Structure 1
């Protein structure tokens, strides 16, 4: 490097100005007595002219004079200035040499620094890291290094610092917040962020020497995996925190359990449900929401591949609450939640009750109804629907499709046969694709006419209502026929008919009316007032009392109109029964029936009825007389028969003994019949009295069973007596009570199969005794069951003798006398059960009523 002169041009121009002041305006010449060395130096400095330049003029001047004192002062000043300039020049030369030495040292140090900087730069600049350096607030950032291309980071500075372009949004937000805190508060950080391409980058923020710098390092292999795991852990931790926060904000109880089924986390809704102050209290005490049995069931049924989901009930705050419990299992434990389903369960129950009510309502409707679901399959039908089509229950309960149902009806010939079956069927099934209801009229082969109303459901499916119009059509036809023949019918009635309007004017009348009252046709024209009609009828009713009464009723303004009936007799001898009937629209109909013949017949019937009453009394006297007259000879026959059987008059051979036994048996039967007839006649006459007394029910049952022993042996049957608890006593006629039981047991023995069992049960019901006699006989047909209590009604079975048919009549009469009732239950092949209820009498004796 060339050395610079220590004295510059500025220094060189200062000396001439100084010497000009010294020369005092001369032309640059010095006195001649100036030393040559000084002259030479001044000439070199350019302060004076050289000698040759001033030699010629000097020849012409006069010789020099000696230097004055002023010149000496000037010369001294010049010499002082020259000395100072020479000293300064020497100092400057020495400083320049020192500066040149220093510059060389600095240039060497700069070279060394550049070398070190290059070495450091080579260490920092690689493809795995990039550093962002901020000198201070408001200074631009300096970026050093680069990241791999697969990271996806922009190369330019502005694009790199726009982290949202190449980092995942959550990571971009985190790194921006961390850099702000680093530059503002010198808060260092170490973050692992994720790029939009899924790569992992480590970001380290530091502050050193007043500078903030962030180093971005692309991670690889194990560090990348660790960083990924850290990111995943942070993500999962954040997700878990958000999930727990969300679950904790729910009003649905949520819980988590470890592998030992111990609660490890619950939300506030769970704590509130178990009446705990905080979730930590629940975990500390292990308070459970569900009972032990429910938890055991959940633990047994919960699988990793199949979560538990079912509605369970528990008690919350003293109320029964239904929860939709869902619990899922994992290797680390289980998690569950319980959604309050009480309202849903109540709604389901209400819906089920409503559906059952609707089903029951529809099932009791006389109109056939069928419901098809969204798959066009039969989901409901009522009994009227099944009766209408006559289909078996198995087919209907199999939920056939609508098309299958129509095909079945067609195959059985129950549907009309249209010209094109396919088009007709498609038209019927089009209701499922329509928003409007469909209406069809089916004329069935059996003569029925159905109005089919089909309505599609908003959720799918359709409802079919089959309205039987057969009767309606028939009624309409009949109505039209009646309308057509109404005039003919009324005109040909034997009864007189007249209809009056609200204004009292005649609307219509028939010929019978005019004939009965003897008026002409023009006097009963429609529109004739009732006063005029009454005047026309004056010939048959001179006093007009009947028509005044009719007019008062028809033209009255009473709010309550009632039917008025009566009888009137005309001057012609005709007896009329009249009826004034209110009609709709405030009209009245007057009907007149000629009762002349009926009156005569009535009188004849009255006379005949009197004669029959007397005949019935004569019959009762005859039956009573004959019964008493028959009893005496029968008593003698029975007495003599017993005498013959006792062998007092001599021994009898076997044939004679058989004859005597037959006589005794027949006599007893005849005596029983006579006694029964006498009892019935006494009851009919109303003169039978009950001999009331306290009756021991248990004792009377034993007595009846003992006395019925022989009769049951003859019938080859057995008797079982069942006594209820606390029978005690009742007030009744003991003889008639035993007679009731004898008749019931005899009747059962007559019909019971050989070897069968007849039961006699007695129980106490308040103040009444209940006697039940049942057998396993052939039973009584339904048509005969209505007449079993009538006299002389018997039922033959397998040819066995049955008696006179008075037993149940006597039972009914005697039970009625006691104020009780008797009922019989029977059926073919089901045996017969007779139940008698006999209340305890309140008085010691009661008079029987007829």
Structure 2
């Protein structure tokens, strides 16, 4: 029993120890935990007190910032990262025009100017994408100025819009104005650099401070900066001193200055304006205008001299209807005093003076007639009228309004023309009466085969009516109408071939026709002038009627030939006057004073002048031949220096040589001496021969003129390297209307040469070889000076 308790005591003691230990551990943990909790609680209270203090400070700061932001003079837009939804703080004054609603504020284009809206949108885009700050001055649609500041902070982008106070707004406005002025100045300088007029700017000391590119080119500088740095002056010293002394703030300097431009002497129209900080000038190159003005003065003088030598009266009035120019023909036709004309009377005053002198046509209503005549100054087209003067003259009046104001009056004297027309009409009537009363049948056909006229005898012989042979009827219709009387092939078909043939030679032919009616007709086909053809038919049924018909025919032919010569002579003289007027007016149209012509109009005027000159030459040739044929041509003998004559002909023929790309080779001794002959006719001989050689000579070849003296005779030979003339043609080269060159003409040249050489008692020969060229040699003997010329 005693052993049991003794053994159990250690066991209990160990269990108690474990329990006590565990309790002690728990108690220790509880104590430690309690101590940590107390300490943590202290720390938490301290932290809470600090946080409350910081929160109070933050709330105070936020309140202060809100109070600051809440100012009505600024508004802030904040973007958090890349968020598209911004936050808006503050507001702007209503007078700025900025919308109060957040959703409308970023629509800058609605309340800012286009330039400012574009600038702020680009700046915000760059701020948010690249974190690039900016400071801008923007302008609202109401004209108010705002300052915009863009910044990035803590991952946020914000833009602050500030409504500026008076001083800052004024400074911002001045900055905007400065920017506008700088841009405008840059634009203006860029514009001035692009124009071709030299422009410069000087400082208060008169030194160049800026020039444009045209100025640099004018002074031959590398560029504008070099021209300024080197001080290259465009104007001479005298001109600059004159500008400095004459220019004022109110009156700029304006004058024309002579200077060197790009190395050449020229004229500049200079304008130089003075300012408080210096001066600025611009120059216009008027060198071409000065040259044109001088050329215009020379042209006007030449124009006046040309008009003064015209046989046609001309008078020019200015915009105030006062006389500015008149030629001698005008003064002579109206018999006006020079002293009166030099007072430059008005057009109406001139009419009144002429009416008072009884020189104008009598009018029932003078005032109305005068107003109609003076209406040309308001008219667009040329006015034409016929004036039958009390002295028996007939004038055709052309009145044309001038483009620059005023009018030109041209008076064409038709007195001789009217008389010639009356005589011509009388001759035609006599011709018609003569032909109508001829016993032989006569019919005249035009080159196209249409009948021009026929007499009753022609219609009676062929048994056709007047309607079947009316003018304009074709020869084929005549042939069908006459077929009942005669239808053999050698009849009307032969006539039609001869009449409509294009052969250069139009020989006449004759023969006998026997009609089915029993009549025997003697016919003749006779070529007339103007390529017309006359058919004559004579009834030779019995010998008596044949004799009578032949007599009448010969008389009719003689009258027709005389009428033809008279007709050619009168018509040729009649053509010369209007041709001279056409040539004169064509030259007048080409002068600048008559107005500018288009390229096509100028070409047409040149064609008119050239064709008129050619036609005038042909008319003169026909007149010369008609004068020779009539035996009334007289030579005007004088002593001629042959060397001068040859030189004059060569100069006159130079244009024709250039046209055919030919050269003229003159072979003559240094001194040909003199000869007594008609200089005008001798010159015509040389020109006609050279023109004939030019027609045959190939392009690029040479024409040779060899001159020599054989005793007292003057011998010259014109040679060409053309194809030569066939032997059968040589027999007819001196015939009239013969033309074989490539430049077809009237064919009168060699005929005139032969006639004029014969009048000088000389000789002309032709030596031509086919394929080798042609030589024409003339021998002109010297003549004795007329007694009158010798006395003089």
TMscore range, shorter length: 0.3 to 0.5
TM-score by length of structure 2 reads: 0.46
Report the TM-score when normalising by structure 1: 0.43
**Structure possessing the higher radius of gyration over alpha carbons:** 1
